[in-house]
Amino acid sequence: MPKEKYNPYNNFLKVMDNAAQIMGMQPDEYVTLRYPERELKVSVPVKMDDGSVKVFEGFRVQHSTLLGPGKGGIRFHEHVDIDDVKALAGMMSFKCAVVGIPYGGAKGGVAVDPKTLSRSELERVTRRYTTAIIPIIGPQKDVPAPDVGSNAQMMDWIMDTYSTNIGYPVHGVVTGKSIEVGGSLGRNEATGRGIMIITRQILSARQKPVKDAKIAVQGMGNVGSISALLLAEEGATIVAVSDVSGGVYSSTGLNIPEITAFIDGGKRPLTEYSAPGVTHISNEELIASDCEILIPAAMENQITAANAKNIKAKIIVEGANGPTTKEADEILTKRGVTIVPDILANAGGVTVSYCEWVQNIQAVLWDISNVNDFLAKILNKAFDEVYAASLQFGCSLRNAAYIVALKRMSTAHRLRGIFP
Ligand code: NAD
């Protein structure tokens, strides 16, 4: 989508305004949330392996610290710009507020394609970017995490860089770390587990069991593969999955553990997978496949005005951030398709990031059942609140999720007041 026509931050503001209007909130009650609290742009000079020097642009935006320290991932992607990061930071404020964890919203990014860097170049980019944002991050200020293009190893480098600069180990400065560096059990699976919990909830609200529900999942990375695995374990029939290379389909259900082992964390493309009864499909065909539930868990803007009319699923559970364009959302809502919005559906990741941070700052260790029980409790409660708001205001689940979050933030704002 051309940037001059589409500004993701303006789109975020429209969603917020719409929710405020539906609930009858006055502009003064939430005007501060229209303006990110802090935007930092940094240059990241790095010596490449061949001796040349490249300078990358980096960003960290703290949209709101009303409910707690900023929280949000760091995206490594060649197209990252300040408007993307502002929009994603704003969505993080609403995501944390809707699930009721004491965090604000933030996001970071470096405009680089990590696949073009060697491991040592990636380490130098990560450490130099961290050094540039050290003045505004910290366990009580702003706590980064992984996002598209970043991973646990990079979070470990961030923890090490921050700690080396501060002079003592600070595990709580970043989440999504390796277990050995203070990561939490269950964090890697948390977003997919959350998708499974939320899918179970929306089906239950329609008096339908997960067992035998036909589901298609776009994206077989962290979120998509774990959602598919856990939903298959619950008895769902996963009829289609895809990665960037294309997809596979079977009307009687795919063998998800076998497929996950085959792609081996993205090392092998799905197009090379074959099994009896399995046909190869494109990503467009996956979106239009014969299923009850579609889980877009790849990238933003995958469900568009062009393909919304072809969607057969009656329920969409947004695993990715922003997978549905505004136009597609309107078309689907008119058609009676239920969309469980990203800020609720994929909040499992940030919820277990919170568990990791709590363990780090208290220097305690939780076992896996503590983590998974906490996650289920938080997400089930958030779903019930959002569902109740959608009935109360007669609105979509997306508007309802923004209403629940807006109410929580504007109440905190009223109680805290404006300094001075
Ligand atoms: P990932 O990099 O692990 O996986 C992405 C997957 O999508 C890969 O299988 C890739 O091949 C596939 N893909 C990429 N482009 C595609 C395309 N055009 N069509 C089809 N498939 C495509 O990423 P992830 O961590 O699973 O994140 C996926 C989405 O979920 C992102 O929007 C991310 O912001 C969001 N999200 C992730 C988490 C998390 O904890 N990982 C939490 C919340 C939200």
Token output for 107: 């996001």
Boundary of a domain, candidates 307, 342, 377: 342
Among 299, 344, 353, the mutation site with the greatest number of ligand 1 atoms within 8 A of its Cβ is: 299
For residue 392, is it within any domain?
A: no
Mark whether 161 and 205 lie in a shared domain: no
Whole-number Å distance, alpha carbon 301 to ligand 1 midpoint, is 12
Residue 385: inside a domain, yes or no? no
The reply to whether 200 and 272 lie within a common domain is: yes
Residue 6: predicted pLDDT? 76
Query: What gap in Å lies between CA 390 and CA 293, rounded to an integer?
Result: 20
Query: Is residue 374, in this structure, part of any structural domain at all?
Result: no
Would you say residue 218 lies in a domain? yes
Pocket (CB within 6 angstroms of ligand 1) = 147-148, 191, 218-224, 242-244, 266, 283, 297-299, 319-321, 346, 349
Centroid of ligand 1 to alpha carbon of 296 (angstroms): 9
Q: Which of residues 265 and 254 earns the better pLDDT score?
A: 254
Whether 49 has a pLDDT exceeding 60, the answer reads yes
370 belongs to a structural domain: no
Cα 163 to ligand 1 centroid, rounded to whole Å: 29
- Mean pLDDT, residues 24-34: 96
Could you give the strand order of the β-sheet that contains 142-146, starting from the edge strand earlier in sequence? 38-47, 53-64, 105-110, 70-76, 142-146
Q: Quick check: is 44 in a domain?
A: yes
The answer on 70 and 138 residing in a single domain is yes
pLDDT digits (tens, 9 = 90+) for 89-145: 999 999 999 999 999 999 999 999 999 999 999 999 999 999 999 999 999 999 999
Phi, psi of 349 (to 5 degrees): -65, -50
Residue with tokens 């959350």: 194
What is the model's pLDDT at position 234?
A: 97
- Total count of domains within the chain: 2
So which residues are the catalytic ones? 107
Q: Both 204 and 323 in a single domain?
A: yes
- Specify whether 240 is located in the same domain as 137: no
219 and 158 both lie in a single domain: no
Is residue 4 pLDDT above 60, yes or no?
A: no
Among 170, 205, 234, give the residue marking a domain's end.
170
Are residues 291 and 195 part of one domain?
yes
Residue 341 is given by DSSP the state -
List, for residues 376-389, the tens digit of each pLDDT value.
999 999 999 999 99
Question: 247: number of CA atoms within 13 Å, CB side?
Answer: 26
Domain boundary among 299, 320, 342: 342
Do 205 and 148 lie in one domain? The reply is: no
Given pLDDT bands bounded at 50, 70 and 90, which one contains residue 212?
Answer: confident
Q: Which helix (H) or strand (E) holds 371?
A: helix 368-393
Domain-embedded: residue 41: yes
Q: What is the mean pLDDT of residues 187-197?
A: 97
pTM here is 0.96
Q: pLDDT (tens digit, 9 = 90+) per residue, 325-373?
A: 999 999 999 999 999 999 999 999 999 999 999 999 999 999 999 999 9
At 57-84, the pLDDT tens digits run 999 999 999 999 999 999 999 999 999 9
Based on the domain organization, do 235 and 116 belong to the same domain? no
Q: For position 157, which CATH number holds?
A: 3.40.50.10860
Does residue 2 register a pLDDT over 50? no
d(CA 308, CA 78): 28
Arithmetic mean of pLDDT over the chain: 96
> Ligand 1, atom 5: nearest CA belongs to which residue?
221
**pLDDT at site 3:** 46
Atom 29 of ligand 1, nearest CA residue:
320
Instruction: Determine which residue's CA is closest to atom 4 belonging to ligand 1.
Output: 221
Return the residue whose CA atom lies nearest to atom 40 of ligand 1: 349
**Tally of CB atoms within 10 A around 185:** 20
**51 and 125 together in one domain:** yes
Tell me, in angstroms, the distance from the centre of ligand 1 to residue 86's CA. 19
Same domain, 331 and 212: yes
In a domain, 356, yes or no: no
130-169 per-position pLDDT tens digit: 999 999 999 999 999 999 899 999 999 999 999 999 999 9
State the helix-helix crossing angle for 348-362 and 190-205, rounded to 10 degrees: 130
The ligand 1 atom at the shortest distance from the C-alpha of residue 247 is: 20
Return the CATH number at 321.
3.40.50.720
Residues 156 and 231 reside in one and the same domain: no
**pLDDT over 70 percentage in the chain:** 99
Nearest CA to ligand 1 atom 28: 298
Q: Domain span at residue 104?
A: 36-170
